[in-house]
Amino acid sequence: MGKQSIRISIGEQTLTLFDEAGQVLRRYAVSTASNGAGEVSGSFCTPRGRHLIRARIGAGLPENTVLVRRRPTGETYSPELGSQFAGRDWILTRILWLSGCEPQRNRLGSVDTMRRYIYIHGSPDQAEMGAPGSHGCIRMRNAEIVELFDLVAPYTPVEICED
């Protein structure tokens, strides 16, 4: 793993992984917040600015493992489980927990990305990608979050932009 970086475009609903030379390694369709961009706690918006991957959670777990409070519940997501708990915001397979780097913008106080539990995480297969739909996190397809998770190290820089 070299010194990579990630750019998330809220406007394009994409996540792009770059190598140390700035070359595109991977590009994925994602889903950011239904409420749009914003940093304030309780806004259910996707925070903008410079972040780091502070923690990588779920290494080795099978795809569709259900995670609650960053721990596997013992459940495996299925469409049946999804319809049984229709209102649940599913966090599946892997978590890349983000921490803001810009005090007063996305770090500390009421705008702290990490304290807001903003993740890049897996989602049910039927979850739409390429369109806003999350509660603030960046949702990805399960196979793609596994691939990304295996490519990035802790403290990989993540820039979240509106364009």
In the chain, the domains with their CATH numbers are 5-161 (2.40.440.10)
Instruction: Reply yes or no on whether the pLDDT at 2 is more than 90.
Output: no
At 87 the pLDDT is 82
Helix (H) or strand (E) run with residue 138 in it: strand 138-141
d(CA 97, CA 117): 7
- Cβ density class 69-101: b for 16+ within 10 Å, e for less: eeeeeeeebeeeeeeeeeeeebbbbbbbbbbbb
Instruction: Reply yes or no on whether the pLDDT at 95 is more than 90.
Output: yes
| Structure confidence at residue 161 as a pLDDT band (50, 70, 90) | very high
d(CA 145, CA 162): 21
| Structure confidence at residue 144 as a pLDDT band (50, 70, 90) | very high
By percentage, how much of the chain surpasses pLDDT 70? 99
**HSE value, Cβ hemisphere, 13 Å, CA-based, for 50:** 6
Q: Summarize pLDDT for 109-121 with one digit per residue, the tens.
A: 999 999 999 999 9
Q: Summarize pLDDT for 40-73 with one digit per residue, the tens.
A: 999 999 999 999 999 999 999 999 999 999 999 9
Instruction: Reply yes or no on whether the pLDDT at 152 is more than 80.
Output: yes
